[in-house]
Amino acid sequence: MSQRFRNLSSGSEQLDNYLKSTQKLNQDDPINLPLFFIPYNEFDDIKLLKKGGEGIIYKSEWKIGLNGLGPETVALKTLLNKLDIKKFINELDLQRKLYGTYIPLVYGVTKDFNNHYMIVMEYAKNGDLRNYLINNYNNLNFKDKLRMLKEIILAIKDIHSNNLIHGDIHPGNILRGENSFYVSDFGLCHPYTEERERKIIYGIPPYVAPEIFLKEHYGPEADIYGFSMIAWEILSGKKVYDNCPHDFDLIQSITNNDKRPPPINGTPLELWNLIQSCWDKDYTKRPKAKEIYSTLVKWLLIDEIYKIWENDLKKGITENFIFTNDDNFLSINNINYSNKQVTGSTLSIHDRFPTGNTTSSITSNNSSPENDDYVSIQIDLVIPNNLT
C-alpha cells in the first residue's frame, strides 16, 4: 500500500503534512500506523449507513483493497463540518493512535467529488451491539456475556491509558467485527485535561453520566457510567429505560432521584455489584477501566467463575443470584429476542426514542440491520444550573 499511495496528494497541505508525518513515524518504528491518501475512484458501491450529529458514515467496496489483492468492504466517514480540517485530522489521529484489537483499523483518507474529506476505516460487518443482541441474545451464556464486557472495557481502558475520554459510550458505538467487539466513533474523544464547554451537552440521555448533566465534572468516569448501561443491556437483552421517554423528566430522575435500571433476575450478585459500582452517582466511587478489566479477566480466565454460576443454577442453588417476585425486576429467562419484539415488553425492539425535547435524534431504517438507532447530537434542551 505504501508504494501505491506514497506520492499522492489530498489537495490540502495541512492534511498532506500530517499523512507524511505518520509515514515517517512508521519508518522510524513499524509499530506506528502509517496513513495515506487513497483516490476516491478506488471506491465503489457507496451506501449510506448512518448520519449523526458529528458525521456521516458510508459502506463501500474498496476495489483493490488494502493489499491490492481484490475488493474489500470498508467504512467511509465524513464530518458534518466539512471545512474544519483541524477537527478532521484530530479524529483521524486519535483513531490512528488507538488502533488495536478492539479499535477499528484506519487505512487512510479520501476525498469525494464534492471535495469532502473522508476517513477510510475497517468495516464491522455484523453491525452494532443492538443488532448483535437482537440476533444472538438467546444463545448467549454467562461466559459469552463476560467476554463481551471484557472486550468493550479493554477498548475503554486503552482509551483512558492514553489520557483520553471517549465521551460517547453507547450501544450504537459498540460494533461487532469478525470475532470481537470494537469501540468506535471518536468525534467527541478528547484529552483529560481539555476543558469542555459545559453549556452544551452531547449524547443520548440514558448513557450520559449524572455529573455531566449537573455540570460538575467531565472525566473518564463518565465512560464507566456509559459502560454500566451497556452491561445492563447485555445482561437483560433490553434497551435501557425503553419504557419511558428519554426527556428532561428522565434526566431529572437520574440526577436527583438516583434512578437506575432495575435488577435482573438470574444475575450473579458479584456481577450485579460490579455494574452498580459503575453507575454510582458519586463518580469518585466508580471503578477504573483497568480495575474492571482485571476483574473480568480473573472471572473468565483464572477462576472461570461462569462455570460455577451455571452449575449452581442447574442445581437450583440461588443464594448467590438475584431472584425476587418483584414485578419491577426483569427475568433473564423470560426475555425472548426476535426481530420484532421482546416477550413481556409493551415496546417493539425497534421503537424509536422520542424525538421531541430530547438530547438525541434518531435516524434509522428498520429494513437495514446495519443502521444505528443511537445517534448522539448536541442537546437542544436547556439544562438549568440547578436541576431541582
Q: Which residues pair with 121 in a beta bridge?
A: 75, 106
Q: What tens digit of pLDDT does each residue of 100-129 get? A: 768 889 999 999 999 999 999 999 988 999
In the DSSP assignment, the letter for residue 342 is B
What is the amino acid identity at position 305?
I
Using alpha carbons only, give the angle 104, 107, 109 rounded to the nearest 5 degrees: 115
Per-residue confidence (pLDDT) for residue 306, from 0 to 100 = 94
Per-residue confidence (pLDDT) for residue 359, from 0 to 100 = 30
User: Would you call 304 helix, strand, or coil by DSSP?
Assistant: coil
- The whole-model pTM stands at 0.83
Per-residue confidence (pLDDT) for residue 70, from 0 to 100 = 80
Q: Residue 222, Cα to own-chain centre: how many angstroms?
A: 13
Residue with cell 475488493: 71
Range 127-315 has CATH code 3.40.640.10 = no
CA distances from 174 to 186, 319, 378 (A): 12, 33, 20
Distance CA 297, CA 275 (A): 15
Closest by CA to 149, choosing from 222, 261, 229, 231, is: 231
Domain boundaries of the chain, sorted by first residue: 13-122, 127-315
Per-residue confidence (pLDDT) for residue 195, from 0 to 100 = 58
Distance CA 145, CA 267 (A): 11
pLDDT under 70: residue ranges of the chain: 1-4, 6, 53, 82, 101, 194-199, 325-388
Q: For residue 346, with 0-12 CB atoms within 10 Å meaning exposed, 13-18 middle and 19 or more buried, which class applies? A: exposed
- Please enumerate, as own/partner, the contacts of 298-307 that have beta carbons within 8 Å and a separation of 24 or more: 299/146, 299/270, 300/143, 300/146, 300/147, 300/150, 305/268, 305/270, 306/141, 306/142, 306/143, 306/146
Range 13-122 has CATH code 1.10.510.10 = yes
Per-residue confidence (pLDDT) for residue 123, from 0 to 100 = 93
Residue with cell 425535547: 357
Per-residue confidence (pLDDT) for residue 290, from 0 to 100 = 98
Per-residue confidence (pLDDT) for residue 357, from 0 to 100 = 31
Q: What tens digit of pLDDT does each residue of 53-74 get? A: 678 999 999 998 888 888 999 9
Distance CA 182, CA 115 (A): 29
Write out the H or E segment, with its range, that includes residue 372.
none
Per-residue confidence (pLDDT) for residue 363, from 0 to 100 = 27
**Same CATH fold assignment for domains 13-122 and 127-315:** yes
What is the amino acid identity at position 289?
A
C-alpha dihedral, 234 to 240 to 242 to 244, nearest 10°: 170
- Evaluate the CA torsion angle 198, 200, 195, 51 in order and state its sign: positive
Per-residue confidence (pLDDT) for residue 69, from 0 to 100 = 80
